């Protein structure tokens, strides 16, 4: 043990948040607070000084804030992050503080009516030492003040004046400024990644450009897509996600409904990337030109939409990579290239890359895959939805995301990883900004409560941001197949309010498409993954108006713009799910009650945690349903709710705390 270590008496332990001993970064977005806690203690009874230190990579020095003692040797402090980037660091420093110990003990001796003459001399000596430190650091003015105070404390004739001086708060602050940190213990530096706000709060809409044509049977183009953008913007979405826009292979092209044999005119799957017109850096000629795509990006930006692109690292047999770099693909015993499989499923129209390559070949593959991101970054794209990242090496993702975010810290990566929890969480730790998750299959109150408590109230919330999707082109859940319109509304509200980030695959969602390819399948019948579709966007049964309302509610209520503050409240009916979200800084609380039964009316009593909601148990409060406009006056923790799914499967209440009586009811409308 070094002499410096032997002289450090303070222990710093159980720092939170800390991900895997500091191996991975905690995540925040600009403007969010990072609350840090730690166990800090020493031998004996000496008092401690404890600081939270933090800095952004470009900062010349550490910022620091004193940590508050919570009791039982636990300390807490917080700071707000102000700039995006992965260069943030934070740590905890602490040391035995003789001055704080002296002041504390002086108070105790005075309370016990003990003689403190010698104690005052000891305090004066501590101030003299602080004056010397101030002088050595160039703070001469502070040094003069401290030296004068030391003389006053040791030589003053008025004992009461000397005592007041010893306990003076301004002196304490001056002593804190020049405290002796020579023996300070310091915890390891912990990493923090700060993303832009859209990483925390966003409403996504997925749409196939090739199905945007106003003419049935005609292949959609970027010009058609540009005409469709107002429809998406009017529903209140801020991210438009496009499946792959690249050339599609012909060899082993899939036909309608995933038929292994394509017929003339079948357009194939956009995820079978690569053909005569190019690969991952090319655009499907039927969609249009690069210039027209840039026009879509610009038009979307004007409407408040950001374009997200799909990145799928796989190739059709016709991809130029197959011809130019056959070493990047696995070979079967007969010498042919191994197509993708997830037994018993076969994907004959795509070849996966072989990441188990020797050094130089692997380096070349990794650099080329990174160049695909670089290419689309050049178009101004800053959001990527990554297909099946869990089937590629962890080391690759850590490298490529780190390289990209070093130069473009505003990039957002959404992981399409419907896989085992530990894999999903590892990908998030490695750098993915958001992730798909198990929300589509969590349907009853117990499942939803347990799952979202795990995602928002445990360490997982420090690095994993869920993006909630009730449907995708691959997922038409059993609940949507059999629940009718109420199920679609219920899942929309759950996705949009349980999570700050959510998305839908449209137009199938708002048009209530519920027919699977076959019984027991989650594949859509006549899926536009394999064929062109024409959508009647003006259909009277469309949910577009409701979706627009829900997205407006999300924008107007800060409580719904974060996954913090989610709290579940008990009900006496398991078919009713009750939960709230709160944003204390904005004095905003939203309370949701959702009927999870799409077929029958359900009623029951909700039991609210009034303290958590900031409500006074002795005063009534108003609940304003943001979906219907109705207002109710509630009182106390237990309140009755009845929801008929054919009329309104959910209440989405904003709480009004200041109602004093029924006579005040109209005033607060």
Count of residues in the chain: 669
SS3 content of the chain, % helix, strand, coil (to 5): 35, 25, 40
In sequence order, the 6+-apart residues with CB closer than 8 A to the CB of 515 are 481, 524, 525
Report the relative pairing of strands 190-195 and 185-186 from DSSP bridges.
unpaired
Q: At what angle do helices 222-234 and 544-556 cross, to 10 degrees?
A: 60
DSSP symbols for 440-488: GG--SHHHHHHHHHHHHHSGGGGT--BEE-S-BTTB--HHHHHHHHHHH
Cβ 319 vs Cβ 249: under 8 Å: yes
Report yes or no: 434 and 501 within 8 Å, Cβ to Cβ. Answer: yes
Asked about 416 being catalytic, the answer comes back as yes
Helix (H, G, I), strand (E, B) or coil at 401: helix
Distance CA 40, CA 561 (A): 34
d(Cα 48, Cα 226) in Å, to the nearest integer?
Answer: 63
Of these residues, 37, 318, 387, 597, which one is catalytic?
387
Whether the CB-CB separation of 187 and 91 falls below 8 Å is answered with yes
The C-alpha atoms of residue 20 and residue 11 are separated, in whole angstroms, by: 19
Backbone angles phi, psi at 177, to 5 degrees: -65, -30
Query: Are the C-beta atoms of 328 and 403 separated by less than 8 Å?
Result: no
Question: Cα–Cα distance between 557 and 545 in angstroms, integer?
Answer: 18
Collect all residues with Cβ–Cβ distance below 8 Å to 358 and sequence separation of at least 6.
none
- Is 387 noted as a catalytic residue in this protein? yes
Please enumerate in sequence order all residues whose Cβ is within 8 A of that of 521, keeping only pairs 6 or more positions apart, or say none: none
**Separation of alpha carbons 337 and 548, rounded Å:** 47
The answer to whether 308 touches 384, Cβ cutoff 8 Å, is yes
Task: Report the alpha-carbon distance of residue 467 to residue 444 in Å, rounded.
Answer: 19
Closest CA to 402 of 91, 85, 90: 85
CA nearest to 128, candidates 103, 106, 153, 104:
153
Pairing mode of beta strands 412-416, 383-387: parallel
* First CA to last CA distance, the chain: 69
Identify the sign of the CA torsion 38, 43, 44, 50. negative
| CB-based contacts of 291, cutoff 8 Å, min separation 6 | none
Q: Which helix (H) or strand (E) holds 592?
A: strand 588-595
**Coil, helix or strand at residue 149:** helix
Kind of pairing, strands 576-583 and 588-595? Answer: antiparallel
Query: Could you tell me if residue 515 is left (phi over 0), alpha (psi between -120 and 50 degrees) or otherwise beta?
Result: beta
618 DSSP 8-state letter = T
Nearest-5° angle of CA 75, CA 76, CA 81? 150
Rounded CA-CA distance 383/300 in Å is 14
User: Rounded to an integer, what distance in angstroms lies between the CA atom of residue 554 and that of residue 558?
Assistant: 7
Catalytic residue, candidates 306, 416, 462, 514: 416
For residues 467 and 416, is the Cβ–Cβ distance under 8 A?
Answer: no
CA angle 348, 350, 353 (to 5 degrees): 130
Active-site positions read 387, 416
């Amino acid at each position: 043990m070094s002499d410096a270590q032997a002289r450090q008496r303070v222990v710093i332990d159980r720092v939170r948040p800390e991900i895997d001993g500091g191996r991975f970064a905690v995540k925040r977005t600009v403007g969010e607070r990072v609350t840090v806690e730690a166990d800090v203690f020493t031998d004996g009874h000496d008092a401690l000084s404890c600081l939270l230190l933090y800095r952004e990579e470009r900062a010349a020095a550490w910022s620091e804030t004193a940590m508050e003692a919570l009791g039982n040797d636990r300390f807490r402090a917080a700071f707000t992050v102000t700039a995006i980037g992965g260069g943030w660091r934070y740590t905890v420093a602490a040391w035995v503080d003789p001055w704080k110990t002296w002041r504390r003990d002086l108070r105790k001796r005075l309370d016990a009516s003990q003689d403190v003459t010698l104690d005052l001399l000891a305090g004066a000596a501590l101030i003299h030492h602080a004056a010397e430190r101030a002088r050595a650091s160039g703070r001469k003015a502070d040094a003069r003040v401290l030296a004068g105070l030391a003389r006053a404390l040791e030589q003053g004739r008025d004992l009461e004046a000397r005592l007041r001086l010893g306990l003076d708060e301004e002196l304490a602050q001056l002593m804190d400024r020049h405290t002796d940190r020579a023996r300070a213990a310091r915890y390891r530096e912990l990493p923090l990644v700060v993303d832009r706000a859209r990483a925390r709060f966003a409403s996504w809409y997925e749409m196939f450009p090739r199905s945007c044509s106003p003419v049935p049977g005609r292949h959609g183009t970027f010009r058609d897509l540009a005409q469709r953008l107002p429809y998406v913007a009017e529903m209140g979405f801020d991210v438009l996600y496009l499946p792959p826009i690249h050339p599609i292979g012909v060899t082993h092209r899939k036909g309608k409904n995933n038929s292994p044999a394509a017929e003339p005119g079948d357009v194939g799957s956009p995820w079978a990337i690569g053909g005569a017109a190019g690969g991952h850096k090319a655009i499907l000629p039927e969609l249009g030109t690069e210039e027209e795509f840039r026009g879509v990006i610009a038009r979307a930006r004007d409407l408040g939409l950001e374009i997200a692109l799909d990145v799928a690292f796989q190739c059709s047999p016709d991809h130029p990579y197959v011809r130019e770099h056959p070493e990047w693909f696995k070979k079967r015993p007969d010498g042919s290239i191994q197509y993708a499989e997830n037994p018993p499923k076969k994907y004959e129209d795509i070849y996966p890359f072989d990441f188990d390559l020797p050094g130089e070949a692997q380096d070349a593959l990794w650099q080329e895959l990174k160049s695909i991101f670089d290419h689309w970054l050049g178009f101004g794209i800053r959001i990527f939805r990554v297909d099946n990242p869990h089937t590629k090496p962890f080391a690759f993702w850590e490298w490529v995301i780190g390289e990209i975010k070093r130069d473009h810290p505003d990039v957002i990566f959404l992981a399409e990883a419907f896989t085992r929890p530990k894999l999903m969480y590892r990908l998030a730790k490695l750098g993915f900004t958001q992730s798909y998750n198990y929300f589509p299959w969590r349907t009853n109150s117990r499942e939803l409560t347990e799952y979202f408590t795990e995602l928002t109230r445990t360490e997982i919330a420090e690095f994993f941001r869920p993006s909630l999707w009730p449907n995708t082109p691959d997922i038409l859940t059993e609940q949507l197949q059999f629940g009718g319109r109420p199920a679609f509304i219920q899942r929309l509200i759950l996705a949009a309010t349980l999570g700050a980030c959510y998305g839908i695959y449209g137009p199938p969602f708002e048009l209530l498409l519920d027919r699977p390819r076959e019984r027991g399948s989650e594949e859509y019948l006549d899926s536009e993954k394999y064929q062109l579709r024409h959508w009647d966007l003006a259909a009277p049964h469309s949910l577009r108006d409701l979706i627009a309302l829900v997205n407006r509610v999300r924008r107007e209520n800060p409580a719904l713009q974060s996954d913090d503050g989610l709290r579940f409240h008990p009900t006496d009916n398991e078919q009713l799910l009750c939960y709230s979200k709160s944003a204390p800084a904005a004095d905003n609380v939203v309370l949701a009650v959702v009927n999870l039964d799409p077929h029958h009316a359900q009623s029951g009593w909700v039991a609210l945690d009034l303290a958590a909601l900031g409500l006074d148990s002795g005063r009534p409060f108003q609940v304003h349903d943001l979906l219907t406009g109705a207002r109710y006056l509630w009182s106390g923790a237990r309140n009755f709710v009845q929801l008929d799914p054919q009329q309104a499967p959910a209440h989405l209440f904003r709480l009004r705390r200041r109602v004093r009586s029924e006579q005040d009811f109209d005033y607060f409308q």
